[in-house]
């Protein structure tokens, strides 16, 4: 039997008291665990999951069932529990979930939608199962070129930005801004491959290792030293799971730096400023995973006319859009009224903002769909920060 | 269709499939709690949203003679929400509306599933001058569950235990009638439980065996602007009762508890913690000075020492509402914690203190105490035990230690608070037979088919 990561946690999982701090925001004003908020049964709380993982995979008191899979895979890996659990082992909560998933993937017990996701990545390098040859279609009518040795940055777009029609626009927007700023960069085009962040979150350790190997080889062959990512998910994988052979930035960090050192000037771009009230949604893989809360806000605040209104739940208390951990594809959370994305969109709308800004292609597609479901599209626009910046730059 | 499938379908007909479960996973989680009690089986988990749904579920259960166990946070640690005879666990947490706060008459009308955390934050945001009595339990526990078990909170030493703060309730009786109790039975205001026959007593302390509370009005109290903690310590256990008496002779403390721990050594003393509060800074200072004066009287301050510098982490623990008391569950890196909450006469504290240490040592544990003084008349004396959930022998040790602590409690003339089945049995055995008979008659009258959390307070 292959030793999975769960082995490393088997003396820790039972330490969860099921006390429920992990369900809340930090002031207990609301529930902040996406699946618990929707399902409300204790089984769907982080503590419930810990107890079930322990009972099924460690103590082997209960059978593995489809509903257990569902409980495990509704977790969006948003890390709210890590942030809110008061115990010393809190840092490992999502690692335990991931390790449990690894175990069930290993035992071929993963739900069909997860299997599809993983097989698609394996075959086509993306979860949608779209042909590899179409990966760069989003860039067709742009001047964005392929990465060449010597370019300063590799622009890694990721699967969602490459294939999801709504997010493709964000991918183009960022490309346009980078072109305009004169940065030397390029994309891998059809040679780009999934970074594997979600593959890892879904528990396919072997495939994730393979993706790392392939990507690293490609980066080495091309002499890549710096990567800028559209997606915080890719940023997270590159920064925390890949060998430290290159420097990686999320695009909000790069744009923030470019504003600071004068390479990008948003203050003079539009005569009358932007004149919009904006609320910003923190993506989990940028915020809670990597502590980057300021860069996007600094960019927004540097735009004349922008009034930034915070949602009640922001920064480390931000409520996940529900798309993390592969849920943007597997959709274990559904799209009913109580789905996280729709709850989040209503929260954004309640601020009175006209635009809900995100800095993640996954959040963009999730929240964009939710706005439509809520019939709020006339009142609240969902935009990626890259699209806002492009607009300011009159591109 | 089998019997169980038929009942399941009827439950789904009442509230829809999303909030009814007979799946292995929910049955597993709801068949145990974070205390040391052994698991017991559950047949259905149901999460109603409205009082009408509760009523229909109760009527169904009554017709079909299926046990129902109402559940709030499920955090008594004594498995009071784990059914003794299977049946339905009615998780009330979706009934989570704060319906009304009456500022001038100082009460909040809430649904049964409102958590301590939710009410705390709601008041902080909307009525910053008012507060309710918050237990040290995790914020996910319910205000109603806590009041129904005669719980106690951070202002109980001043205002009484939390069941005394109940102004009235809406209850679904075991036979399905919806009944209002207190002023709300004849007025739109939920401001007092009397002057009427004191019917809330039919539901307080009964562990859900007499009906399901769907709404409850809880008293709110002034929240002072300034708060501070004073700590005094002694090694003379025999002084404790006298000190409690003296401290409660002047009615100036908001909270008053005793704390001690065998490890680390510097915690191995008797600490008296007094929380004072005031609308004005001068008031706060005056209260602090007066308490210092009382303690000075003990051999000029030699026998009981003022802790001049309270460690910041401890000060936080004393002043936080609620504090992170659940940390006890990780003392042995095992995720398990249970305590006998002994309600004792004040003069029995020194003996309980010594016997509690003996019990802990008998089971190879170190002692750890937090006891809250309840209004100067009694004390909630916690015999606390942390354990390793992964180690059945360790859990068994704690079950035995709890049993010993229950026996000591009764031996000392006390009562076991929120007792698990074993503790209840000991109390029922010791109880005046006519009292026991009265309990049985009341249960029979309200719940002729014995469907409400049967097995608690006798069968
Ligand atoms: C670390 C820690 C510290 C604690 N500190 C304190 C403390 O300082 N003070 C204190 O009082 N307690 C304390 N507790 C004990 C306990 O957690 C609390 O009393 C808690 O408030 C109980 O509420 P609950 O919602 O969990 O009740 P539950 O366990 O859900 O229910 C308690 C009882 O009431 C019944 N019940 C629940 N809801 C209803 C309803 N709607 N209708 C009818 N019956 C119902 C249940 O069947 C059960 O018998 C502590 C616990 C822990 C773990
Ligand atoms: S994960 Fe942490 S906060 Fe959540 S129930 Fe377990 S111990 Fe409590």
* CATH 1.10.510.10 correct for B3-91: no
Q: Within a domain: residue A119? A: no
Whether pLDDT at A270 is above 60:
no
**For position A1, what pLDDT does the model report?**
45
Which residue in B29, B138, B389 is closest to A19 by CB distance? B138
Average pLDDT estimate for A289-310: 96
How far, in Å, from the CA of B377 to the mean position of ligand 2? 36
The answer on pLDDT for A58 being more than 70 is: yes
Q: pLDDT tens, A100-136?
A: 999 999 999 999 999 999 999 999 999 999 999 999 9
Given this model, what pLDDT does residue A267 score? 79
ipTM of the complex in this document = 0.96
Domain extent for A222: 127-258
Q: Give contacts of A337 with chain B, Cβ < 8 Å.
A: none
User: Helix, strand, or coil here: B68?
Assistant: strand
H or E stretch including B260?
Answer: strand B253-261
CB contacts, 8 Å: A14 with chain B: 334-335, 388-390
* pLDDT of B245: 95
Q: A42 and B91: CB-CB below 8 Å?
A: yes
For the domain that residue A245 is a member of, what is the CATH number? 3.40.50.1860
**Which pLDDT value is given to residue B297?**
84
Contact B168, B183 (CB under 8 A): yes
Which residues in B lie closer than 8 A to residue A41 (C-beta atoms)?
19, 21, 26, 29, 45, 47, 91
Q: Which two tokens stand for residue A214?
A: 């392939």
Same domain, A90 and A137: no
CATH code where residue A383 lies: 3.40.50
Predicted pLDDT of residue B56: 98
Return the CATH architecture of domain B336-419. 2-Layer Sandwich (3.30)
Q: Give the mean model confidence (pLDDT) for residues A177-184.
A: 95
A260 part of contact set with chain B, CB < 8 Å? no
Query: Are residues A253 and A304 both part of a single domain?
Result: no
Q: Per-residue pLDDT averaged across A195-209, rounded?
A: 97
DSSP B308-360: SS--HHHHHHHHSSS--GGGGGGTTTSEEEEEEEEEEEGGGHHHHHHHHHHHH
Same domain, A141 and A251: yes
Instruction: Point out the residue among B47, B115, B335 whose CB comes nearest to the CB of A17.
Output: B335
The answer to whether B347 touches B378, Cβ cutoff 8 Å, is: no
Ligand 2 atom closest to the Cα of residue A17 is 7
Clarify whether residues A302 and A376 are in a common domain.
yes
CA separation (Å) from B192 to B130, B151, B177, B367?
A: 17, 19, 22, 41
Q: Is the pLDDT assigned to residue A146 strictly greater than 50?
A: yes
Identify the sign of the CA torsion B194, B198, B199, B201.
Answer: positive
* A367: Cβ contacts below 8 Å, ≥ 6 apart: A281, A321, A341, A344, A345, A348, A356, A358, A382
Q: How far is the CA of B151 from the centre of ligand 1 (A)?
A: 7
- B111 at interface of A, judged by CB pairs closer than 8 A: no
Predicted confidence (pLDDT) at residue A2 exceeds the cutoff of 80 = no
Question: pLDDT by residue (tens digit) across A19-50?
Answer: 999 999 999 999 999 999 999 999 999 999 99
Find tokens 């100036």 and name the residue. Answer: B252
**CB of residue B278 inside a 6 A radius of ligand 1:** no
Q: Note the pLDDT of residue A362.
A: 98
- CA–CA gap between residue A339 and residue A372 (Å, rounded): 13
Q: B404: CA distance to ligand 1 center in Å?
A: 22
User: What residues in A contact B30, CB-CB < 8 Å?
Assistant: 42
Domain count, chain A: 3
State the distance from the centre of ligand 1 to the C-alpha of A336, rounded, in angstroms.
Answer: 33
Chain B interface includes A301 (CB < 8 A) = no
Q: Is the CB of B76 under 6 A from ligand 1?
A: yes
pLDDT tens sequence across A325-335 = 999 999 999 99
pLDDT for A274 equals 76
Pairwise CB contact (< 8 Å): A21 & B121: no
- Could you say which of B24, B121, B333 has the minimum Cβ distance to residue A15? B333
Identify the domain boundary among A258, A280, A304. Answer: A258
Let me know if residue A120 belongs to a domain: no
What are the boundaries of each domain within chain B? 3-91, 98-222, 226-319, 336-419
Residues in chain B predicted with pLDDT less than 70, given as ranges, are none
Q: End of a domain among A110, A135, A161?
A: A110
User: What residues 310-329 of chain B have any CB closer than 8 A to a CB of chain A?
Assistant: 324, 326-327, 329
Q: Is A329 domain-assigned?
A: yes
At B299 the pLDDT is 77
Q: One fold for both B226-319 and B336-419?
A: yes
Averaged pLDDT of chain A: 95
Cβ contacts (< 8 Å) between B74 and chain A: which residues?
A: 42
Q: Which residue minimizes the CA distance to atom 8 of ligand 2? A: A19
Residue A201 lies in a domain: yes
Record: contact B139-A41, CB cut-off 8 A: no
Cis-peptide into A309, omega within 30 deg: no
Query: Which one-letter DSSP state was computed for residue A58?
Result: I
Ligand 2 and A20: CB distance under 6 A: yes
Cα A150 to chain center, whole Å? 29
The answer to whether residues A241 and A275 belong to one domain is no
The pLDDT assigned to A88 comes to: 94
Cβ of residue B238 closer than 8 Å to a chain A Cβ: no
Structure confidence by residue, pLDDT tens digits, A158-180: 999 999 999 999 999 999 999 99
Nearest to B257 by CA among B369, B139, B384, B165: B369
Q: Is A96 in the pocket of ligand 2 (CB under 6 A)?
A: no
The pLDDT value given to residue A174: 98
Cβ-based contacts under 8 A for chains A and B: 104
Predicted pLDDT at A3:
60
The pLDDT value given to residue B301: 75
Tell me: do A272 and A387 sit in the same domain.
yes
Choosing from A229, A258, A287, the residue where a domain stops is: A258
The rounded Å distance from CA B368 to ligand 1 centre is 21
Domain B98-222 sits in CATH 3.40.50.720: no
Q: Does the residue A122 lie in any domain?
A: no
Q: Are residues A385 and A344 in the same domain?
A: yes
Tell whether A340 and A384 lie within a shared domain. Answer: yes
Architecture field, domain B226-319: 2-Layer Sandwich (3.30)
């Amino acid at each position: 039997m292959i030793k999975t990561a769960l082995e490393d946690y088997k003396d820790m999982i039972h330490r969860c008291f099921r006390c429920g701090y992990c369900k809340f925001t930090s002031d207990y004003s609301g529930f902040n665990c996406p699946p618990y908020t929707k399902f409300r049964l204790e089984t769907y709380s982080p503590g419930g999951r810990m107890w079930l993982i322990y009972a099924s995979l460690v103590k082997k008191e209960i059978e593995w069932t489809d509903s257990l899979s569902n409980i495990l895979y509704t977790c969006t890996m948003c890390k709210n529990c890590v942030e809110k659990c008061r115990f010393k082992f809190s840092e490992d909560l999502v690692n335990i979930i991931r390790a449990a998933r690894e175990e069930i993937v290993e035992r071929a017990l993963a739900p069909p939608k997860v299997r599809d996701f993983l097989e698609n990545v394996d075959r086509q390098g993306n979860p949608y199962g779209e042909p590899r040859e179409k990966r760069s279609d989003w860039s067709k009518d742009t001047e964005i070129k392929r990465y060449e040795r010597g370019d300063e940055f590799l622009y890694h777009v990721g699967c969602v930005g490459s294939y999801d029609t709504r997010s493709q626009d964000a991918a183009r927007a960022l490309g346009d801004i980078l072109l305009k700023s004169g940065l030397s960069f390029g994309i891998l085009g059809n040679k780009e491959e999934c970074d594997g962040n979600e593959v890892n979150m879904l528990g396919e350790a072997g495939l994730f290792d393979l993706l790392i190997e392939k990507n690293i080889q490609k980066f080495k062959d091309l002499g890549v030293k710096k990567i800028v990512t559209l997606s915080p998910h890719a940023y997270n994988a590159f920064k925390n799971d890949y060998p430290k052979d290159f420097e990686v930035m999320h695009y909000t960090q790069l744009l923030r730096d470019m504003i600071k050192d004068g390479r990008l000037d948003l203050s003079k771009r539009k005569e009358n400023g932007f004149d919009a009230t904006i609320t910003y949604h923190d993506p989990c893989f940028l915020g809670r995973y990597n502590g980057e809360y300021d860069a996007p806000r600094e960019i927004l605040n540097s735009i004349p006319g922008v009034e930034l209104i915070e949602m009640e739940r922001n920064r480390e208390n931000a409520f996940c859009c529900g798309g993390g951990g592969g849920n943007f594809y597997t959709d274990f959370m559904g799209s009913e009224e109580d789905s996280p994305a729709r709850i989040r969109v209503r929260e954004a709308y309640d601020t009175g903002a006209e635009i809900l800004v995100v800095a993640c292609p996954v959040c963009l597609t999730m929240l964009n769909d939710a706005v439509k479901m809520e019939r709020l599209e006339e009142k609240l626009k969902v935009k990626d920060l890259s699209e806002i910046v492009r607009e300011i730059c009159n591109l | 269709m089998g019997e169980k499938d038929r009942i399941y379908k009827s439950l789904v007909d009442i509230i829809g499939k999303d909030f009814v479960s007979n799946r292995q996973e929910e049955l597993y989680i709801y068949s145990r709690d974070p205390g040391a009690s052994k698991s017991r089986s559950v047949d259905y988990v149901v999460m109603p949203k409205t009082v009408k749904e509760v009523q229909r579920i109760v009527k169904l259960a009554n017709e079909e003679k299926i046990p129902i166990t109402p559940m709030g946070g499920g955090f008594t640690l004594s498995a009071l929400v784990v059914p003794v005879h299977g049946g339905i666990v009615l998780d009330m947490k979706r009934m989570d509306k704060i319906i009304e706060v009456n500022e001038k008459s100082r009460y909040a009308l809430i649904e049964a599933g409102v958590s301590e955390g939710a009410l705390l934050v709601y008041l902080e945001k909307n009525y910053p001058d008012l507060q309710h009595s918050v237990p040290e339990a995790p914020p996910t526990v319910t205000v109603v569950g806590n009041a129904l078990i005669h719980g106690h909170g951070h202002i109980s030493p001043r205002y009484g235990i939390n069941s005394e703060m109940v102004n009235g309730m809406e209850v679904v009786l075991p036979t399905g009638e919806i009944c209002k109790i207190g002023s709300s039975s004849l007025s739109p205001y939920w401001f007092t439980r009397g002057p009427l026959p004191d019917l809330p007593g039919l539901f307080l302390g009964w562990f859900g065996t007499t009906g399901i509370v769907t709404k409850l009005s809880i008293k709110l109290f002034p929240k002072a602007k300034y708060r501070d903690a004073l700590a005094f310590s002694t090694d003379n256990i025999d002084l404790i009762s006298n000190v409690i008496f003296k401290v409660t002779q002047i009615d100036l403390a908001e909270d008053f508890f005793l704390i001690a721990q065998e490890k680390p050594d510097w915690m191995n003393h008797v600490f008296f913690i007094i929380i004072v509060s005031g609308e004005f800074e001068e008031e706060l200072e005056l209260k602090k000075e007066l308490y210092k004066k009382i303690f000075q009287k003990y051999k000029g301050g030699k026998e009981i020492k003022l802790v001049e510098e309270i460690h910041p982490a401890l000060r936080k623990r004393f002043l936080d509402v609620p504090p992170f008391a659940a940390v006890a569950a990780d003392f042995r890196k095992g995720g398990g914690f249970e305590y006998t909450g002994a309600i004792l006469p004040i003069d029995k504290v020194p003996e309980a203190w010594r016997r509690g240490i003996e019990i802990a040592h008998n089971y190879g544990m170190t002692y750890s105490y937090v006891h809250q003084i309840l209004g100067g008349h009694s004390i909630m004396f916690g015999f606390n035990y942390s354990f390793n959930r992964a180690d059945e022998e360790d859990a068994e040790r704690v079950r035995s230690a709890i049993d010993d602590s229950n026996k000591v409690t009764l031996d000392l003339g006390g009562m076991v608070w929120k007792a698990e089945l074993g503790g209840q049995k000991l109390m029922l055995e010791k109880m005046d037979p006519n009292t026991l008979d009265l309990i049985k008659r009341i249960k029979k009258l309200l719940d002729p088919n014995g469907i409400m959390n049967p097995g608690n307070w006798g069968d």
